[in-house]
Amino acid sequence: MGKPTDLVQGTLDLLILKTVALAPMHGWGIAQRIRQVSKEVLQVNQGALYPALHRLEQQGWIQAKWGESENNRRAKYYSLTRDGAQYLRRQQAQWNRLSGAIDLVLETT
C-alpha cells in the first residue's frame, strides 16, 4: 500500500457531503467511512475535518443534531439539508465533468 493520497483541494467538501447524504453521521464516522469506501486510499486529515464540517454547517449545506452513538456516547450527527442536496448534485456533476475531461486528456495517446 502506497502513501495515502492527499486530498485534492476542495474535494473534501464534496466527500463529506456525499458521505452524510447516505445517513446522518458524526465526524469520526465520516472520516472512517471515507477511508473504508475508498479502500484506504483517501485518508482524511483529521485536523482539517472539523473546520470543514463547521464551515459547511455555517453555509447551510449540512445541519447538526446531537444524538446517541452506537457505544452510547453523546455525539454530534451531521446530515444533509435540502439546499445541501442540491449543492451536492451540482458539485458532483461538475466533478464528473472535470474528471471525465482529465481522463480524456490522459487516455489520448
Partner 1 sequence: MRLYYKLPLRFLSLFRKPEAEQELNDELEFHLQYQIDEYVRQGMQPEEARYAALRALGRLQQVKEECREMRNVNFIENVLQDLHFGLRMLRRSPGFSLLAILCLTIGIGANAAVFSWIEGILLRPFPLVVGQERLMAVTGTNRASGERTGVSWPDFLDLQKNCKLFDAFIVDKIMGATLNVGDHATRITGSVVSANYFDALGIRPIVGRGFELEEDYGRNAHPVVVIGYHMWQDRFHGDPQIIGKTQILGGQPHVIVGVAPEGFQGTFVGWAMQFWVPVSMQERFVPGGYQLEDRTADWIEAFVRLKPGVTAEQAQAEISAAAKRLEEEYPATNRGRGIKLYPLWQTPFNNAGTLLPTLSIALCVVVFVLLIVCANVSNLLLVKAFGRRHEMTVRLAMGARRGRLLQQLLTEGLILSTIAAIGGLILAHWTRNLLVLLLPKRGGTAMYLPGAVDWRVLALSTAACLVSTLLLGLVPAIHTGKLDLASALKAESGGVVGGRRRALAQSSLVLVQVALSFVLLVGAGLLLKSLRAVQNTSPGFLTDVITTWIDTKSAGYDKQRTLTFQDELIDRLQVVPGVQSAAFGRIGAFTYGVYSSAAIAADGYVTAPGEQPVIDYDEVSPGFFNTMGIPLVSGREFTRADNETALPVAIVNEAMAAQLWHGQDAAGRRIQVKGRWLQVVGVAKVSKYRTLIEPPRSFFYVPMRQSLVGAGLYIRTSLPATALASALTREVHALDANLASGEMITMQEEINRSTAVQHIAVNMLGVFGGLALLLAGVGLYGVMSYAVSQSTRELGLRMALGARAADLLRLVMSQGLALTMAGVALGGIAALALSRLLGYLLYRVSPRDPLAFVMAFAVMTLAALLACFMPAWRATRTDPVRALRD
**Contacts by 62-69, CB closer than 8 A, 24 or more apart:** 62/16, 62/17, 62/20, 65/24, 67/24, 69/26
Residue 67 interacts with partner 1 (CB under 8 A): yes or no: no
Residue 65 interacts with partner 1 (CB under 8 A): yes or no: no
| Residue selected from 38, 79, 81, 91 as contacting partner 1 according to rule CB under 8 A | 81
How many CA atoms does the CB half-sphere of 27 hold within 13 Å?
17
Residue 91 interacts with partner 1 (CB under 8 A): yes or no: no
Residue 60 interacts with partner 1 (CB under 8 A): yes or no: yes
CA distance linking residue 24 with residue 62, whole number of Å: 10
Residue 28 interacts with partner 1 (CB under 8 A): yes or no: yes
| Residue selected from 11, 36, 59, 99 as contacting partner 1 according to rule CB under 8 A | 59
**H or E stretch covering 15:** helix 11-22
Site of interaction with partner 1 (CB under 8 A): 26-28, 45-47, 50-52, 54-55, 57-61, 63, 66, 69, 71, 73-76, 81, 83
